[in-house]
Amino acid sequence: MTDEAQRQDQIIQELSQHIKGKGLTFFIGTFGCQMNALDSEKIEGILTEIGYTKAENEKTADFLIYNTCCVRENAELKIFGKLGALKHRKKTKPNFMVALCGCMMQQDVVMDTLKKKYKFVDIIFGTYNIYKLPELLQARIETGQNIIDIWKTHEDIVEDLPSIRKHAFKSCVNIMYGCNNFCTYCIVPYVRGRERSRSVDDICEQVETLVNDGVKEIMLLGQNVNSYGKNLDDKPTFSYLLERLATIDGLRRIRFMTSHPKDFSDELIEVIAKHNNISKGLHLPIQSGSDSILRRMNRVYSREEYLDLVRKIKSRISNATITTDIIVGFPGESDQDFQDTLSVVEEVKFLSAFTFIYSKRTGTPAASMTNQVSEEVVKERFNQLVATVNNISANFMQDQVGQKYEILLEETSKNDTQMLSGRTDTGILVHVHVNDASNFIGQFVNVKIISAKTHYLIGDLI
């Protein structure tokens, strides 16, 4: 354990004496991406170690934490809406505490608003100092003052604090933090800082510990995993890391996200092709099919380069599936640019696509581009894109009927409690009929696909 982790651990022990026997509960509201979900597991680990227990829902919690996202404006508006509704509760329940953390807090404009309009928030911290939560909570309790601690940049990466895994059989693992790409629409580099990678040994050690603890699938997380290792002395590549992890005994499946198409190497394709336990479902955000938009987004690849990469992947890994992210309505997007996006979607035949309406983010270069697209046009294009994506996905799913797949069963199906949901090695969602659900969660099973919907398959055990 590092000195810093030890120091926080000591504070956790002190706080637990204070909290013990009080029956206090917490609730974490998590917004945004998998990075935030993983950060919330860390927060949950810290609070549980201190002696808080999980509240049934956010209305009953004694300590409410919102881990925020600012990638699009909608996510921010939700938080301000929730805060507005908390004002009254804060007045009537004096011991009720609210903390805010995550990406939104790293923006000066947000902090100005919070300081002016939402003075009741007890603790505010950012993306770089989650591990300091014990210290911040202690300061809040001891001084009775509200605590704001936002760092403009990172110091050390502190990993070895308690964390509560959501699932026994699968886990996410951070391999790097931050992003250096500065896509012109994106706020992430401003709120998550420059790229910094964890060492290969630290990651392997963590994954080995997880596997010994029963984890069968890991998801490696980074804003751009393909630039893993660039800031480390011995410059390990992502393919090297992946190959080391693939040889860990008992690790059945490795997934990773997100890959930037600009630096998806041939070596990486070889490593994925070579190891059965590396998932063949690849998330490769394209953002747009138009060269001029890609250029103005600063994506550093052309439409043809993206298509070349997909062809290369599919020729080497025949069962690979590609999922993607697409933004509609980037400033200056013409009808022709949008048609180029539709045609690239048809050409690649993505398994699925996360489709987003462009959201203007203050401080990014795209926010000051003049020719913003009207809301009406964007909505029309968005609907057309979703219809195209769904149509391709439905056809793909229909083609899978009769096929056999090995899937990892993960949880009770959201649509039908008599079924379990899992994923194939290629990332396809499958719902399966089982008799005794609890015996199957976390197990790999073989299924035959009996029917298909737009976004998922239905299968029977074989």
Q: Which residues bind ligand SF4 (CB under 6 A)?
A: 179, 181-183, 186, 188-189, 223-224, 260
What angle is formed at CA 8 by the lines to CA 5 and CA 14, rounded to 5 degrees? 145
Q: Provide the minimum distance between the beta carbon of 181 and ligand SF4 in the complex, in angstroms, as a whole number.
A: 4
Q: Provide the minimum distance between the beta carbon of 278 and ligand 5AD in the complex, in angstroms, as a whole number.
A: 22
By C-alpha distance, which of 411, 420, 409, 333 is closest to 374?
333
Q: Provide the minimum distance between the beta carbon of 180 and ligand SF4 in the complex, in angstroms, as a whole number.
A: 8
The arrangement of strands across the sheet holding 253-257 comes to 170-174, 217-221, 253-257
Burial of 221-237, coded b for 16+ CB within 10 Å and e otherwise, reads bbbbbbbbbbeeeeebb
Binding positions for ligand 5AD, 55-84, rule CB under 6 A? 71-72
The two beta strands, 196-197 and 176-177, are: antiparallel
Draw the binding track, 139-178, toward ligand 5AD (x: CB under 6 A; -: no contact). ----------------------------------------
Stretch that binds ligand 5AD, among 84-92, 266-274, 351-359, 448-456 (CB under 6 A): 351-359
Kindly tell me which residue out of 163, 323, 359, 393 binds ligand 5AD, with binding defined by CB under 6 A.
Answer: 359
Stretch that binds ligand 5AD, among 36-44, 240-248, 353-361, 432-440 (CB under 6 A): 353-361
Number of residues this chain uses to bind ligand 5AD (CB under 6 A)? 12
Between 179 and 254, CB nearer to ligand 5AD: 179
Question: Residue 287, interface with ligand 5AD (CB under 6 A)?
Answer: yes
Q: How many residues does the chain have?
A: 462
What angle is formed at CA 223 by the lines to CA 222 and CA 228, rounded to 5 degrees? 55
Between 134 and 222, CB nearer to ligand SF4: 222
By C-alpha distance, which of 282, 75, 296 is closest to 182?
296
Q: Provide the minimum distance between the beta carbon of 39 and ligand 5AD in the complex, in angstroms, as a whole number.
A: 16
Q: Provide the minimum distance between the beta carbon of 35 and ligand 5AD in the complex, in angstroms, as a whole number.
A: 10
Kindly tell me which residue out of 27, 228, 356, 456 binds ligand 5AD, with binding defined by CB under 6 A.
Answer: 356
Q: Which residue is nearest to ligand 5AD (CB)?
A: 325
Q: Provide the minimum distance between the beta carbon of 453 and ligand SF4 in the complex, in angstroms, as a whole number.
A: 30
- Alpha helix positions (H), 290-352: 291-296, 303-316, 335-348
Kindly tell me which residue out of 9, 149, 325, 380 binds ligand 5AD, with binding defined by CB under 6 A.
Answer: 325
Kindly tell me which residue out of 236, 261, 281, 285 binds ligand 5AD, with binding defined by CB under 6 A.
Answer: 285
Question: Residue 299, interface with ligand 5AD (CB under 6 A)?
Answer: no
Between 12 and 188, CB nearer to ligand SF4: 188
Measure the CA–CA gap between 191 and 125, rounded to whole angstroms. 12
User: Of these partners, ligand 5AD, ligand SF4, none, which one is at the site of residue 381 (CB under 5 to 8 Å by kind)?
Assistant: none
Confirm if 225 and 238 have CB atoms less than 8 A apart: yes
- Reading the block at residue 223, the tokens are 């804003």
User: Of these partners, ligand SF4, ligand 5AD, none, which one is at the site of residue 198 (CB under 5 to 8 Å by kind)?
Assistant: none
Confirm if 138 and 118 have CB atoms less than 8 A apart: no
Measure the CA–CA gap between 321 and 229, rounded to whole angstroms. 26
C-alpha separations of 266 from 178, 226, 263, 324, 431 in Å: 24, 12, 9, 20, 34
Q: Provide the minimum distance between the beta carbon of 18 and ligand SF4 in the complex, in angstroms, as a whole number.
A: 39
What angle is formed at CA 248 by the lines to CA 245 and CA 251, rounded to 5 degrees? 90
Report the Cα–Cα distance between both ends of the chain, in Å, rounded. 46
Reduced to 3 states, what is the DSSP secondary structure of residue 34?
A: helix
Confirm if 173 and 203 have CB atoms less than 8 A apart: yes
Between 71 and 392, CB nearer to ligand SF4: 71
- Reading the block at residue 188, the tokens are 């992430």
Q: Provide the minimum distance between the beta carbon of 106 and ligand 5AD in the complex, in angstroms, as a whole number.
A: 15
Q: Provide the minimum distance between the beta carbon of 161 and ligand 5AD in the complex, in angstroms, as a whole number.
A: 26
User: Of these partners, ligand SF4, ligand 5AD, none, which one is at the site of residue 179 (CB under 5 to 8 Å by kind)?
Assistant: ligand SF4
By C-alpha distance, which of 440, 436, 457, 439 is closest to 448?
457
Between 206 and 259, CB nearer to ligand 5AD: 259
Q: Provide the minimum distance between the beta carbon of 186 and ligand SF4 in the complex, in angstroms, as a whole number.
A: 3
Give the binding site for ligand 5AD (CB under 6 A).
Answer: 71-72, 185-186, 285, 287, 325, 327, 356, 358-359, 361
